[in-house]
Amino acid sequence: MVRGMTTNGGFEPVFCTIVPPHLLDQLARHDDPAIAESAQRTLERDAAQRTRRRITAVRTTAATPAAAPSDKPNRTIYDAGHQETLPGKKVHSEDDKPAKDATVNRAHAGLGATFELYLKAYGRHSIDGAGLPLNATVHYGENYDNAFWNGEQMVFGDGDGTTFLDFTIPVDVIGHELTHGVTQYTANLEYYGQSGALNESVSDVFGSLIKQYALGQTADQADWLIGAGLLAPSVHGTALRSMKAPGTAYDDPNLGKDPQPASMDHYVRTSQDNGGVHINSGIPNHAFYLVATAIGGNAWERAGKIWYATLTGGQLASDAQFADFARLTAATARALYGEDEEVKAVLGAWSQVGVPTS
């Protein structure tokens, strides 16, 4: 298991979730006891894991494989049977025919879509770059309102059916969480403050690109939503986050209003959520959206290559701030494309969101 270093020299597992704690906090105060109980139970489960995630971490490097990694994924799906023991019962292997359980099939397909984007667009073999098997557990817990990457595998809750639906529905949720693994094996961005918001943003960026690649959408055709289809029909919202228009994904009596800022003018200073990692990620998210739409075409190509090369190039410090990331994306764009439209798009985007590049 990939681990982060604790202050006393020990190691604890990395833990990443798609639904931020501020949303679950809101639901835990709901008048409906069933909704409040599901949210509270999810919070307690997540908090127990999240406290193990430390600011100080060690870079995880992939072991050199004995042979060249395969261009095919190696996926295994397990069923927790609504318990919390991982991985659960093995129910689907790579070469099995589709299961009768749609959740199993969606998990299998989402792992595959993530593997495909990283391989075809960036030449990366799985999460670690060396063919890491992709494992996932479905039907985790009772009415569990989240999905997470624990440093070793994906885990999906079924949602409570009232606020959140099955967490295998949006492929970008799967791609988002698996990208936390890619970040682990590369820049290993610390999960606090701006570096933590960059960690979250990188996952949103590639989660969105995985969906766009799977659907064959150009930057102009994409919805730039993270988690579309996850919210129940009664919720006043379209997704968990919007990269196109941060702060507009939902405005619901039970969930509250989407708090994400689109620029540094509205940067949120808070001690909650590891310094607002799920909130301030809206700023670099919006910068990527601006770059991708300014360049046009398929966002996983030029815009995505700039972000991927920045993440994996070895120059991005684990405690990088927004300005550090912005400067590196500009330098990467120059290295890849020269002084062309790509560089102008990167400089213009970061300027629009209020982050300096020099």
Given the residues 30, 177, 200, 286, select the one marked as catalytic.
177
Residue 262 in domain:
yes
Q: pLDDT tens digit string along 267-295?
A: 999 998 889 999 999 999 999 999 999 99
- Report the pLDDT value the prediction gives residue 55, as an integer from 0 to 100: 37
In the predicted model, is pLDDT for residue 155 greater than 90?
yes
From CA 226, how far away is CA 243, in angstroms rounded? Answer: 8
The enclosing domain of 238 has a CATH number of 1.10.390.10
Q: What was the pLDDT predicted at 51?
A: 58
Residue 182 within a domain: no
Write down the pLDDT at residue 48. Answer: 65
**pLDDT score of 195:** 96
Cβ atoms of residues 23 and 255 within 8 Å = yes
Is there a domain that residue 235 lies in?
yes
Least confident range of 5-19, 227-241, 257-271, 287-301? 5-19
Does the pLDDT at position 19 exceed 50? yes
For residue 9, how far is the Cα from the chain centroid? 28
Enclosing H/E stretch for 3: strand 3-5
Residue 201 forms part of a structural domain: yes
Predicted local confidence at residue 304, as pLDDT: 98
pLDDT computed for residue 50 by the predictor: 58
Q: What are phi and psi of 29, to 5 degrees?
A: -100, 10
Kindly report, residue by residue over 327-349, the tens digit of the pLDDT.
Answer: 999 999 999 999 889 999 999 99
Decide if pLDDT at 10 tops 60.
Answer: no
On whether residue 232 sits in a domain, the answer given is yes
Task: Write down the pTM of the prediction.
Answer: 0.92
> 14 in a domain, yes or no?
no
252 belongs to a structural domain: yes
Q: State how many domains the chain has.
A: 1
| Confidence grade of residue 8 (pLDDT, cut at 50, 70, 90) | very low
At a CB cut-off of 8 Å and minimum separation 6, what does 61 contact?
185
pLDDT in tens, 111-141: 999 999 999 999 999 999 999 999 999 999 9
Q: pLDDT band for position 230 (50/70/90)?
A: very high
Based on the residue annotation, tell me whether 37 is a catalytic residue of this protein.
no
> What number is the average pLDDT over the span 312-322?
97
Q: 15-29, 205-219, 250-264: lowest mean pLDDT where?
A: 15-29
Q: Which domain holds residue 286?
A: 193-352
**Cα-trace Rg, the chain:** 19
Asked whether residue 168 is domain-assigned, the answer is: no
92: annotated active-site residue: no
Q: Are 145 and 164 in contact (CB under 8 A)?
A: yes
Q: Which of 30, 180, 278, 286 is catalytic?
A: 278
Mean pLDDT of the chain: 91
What are the tokens at 206? 């590639």
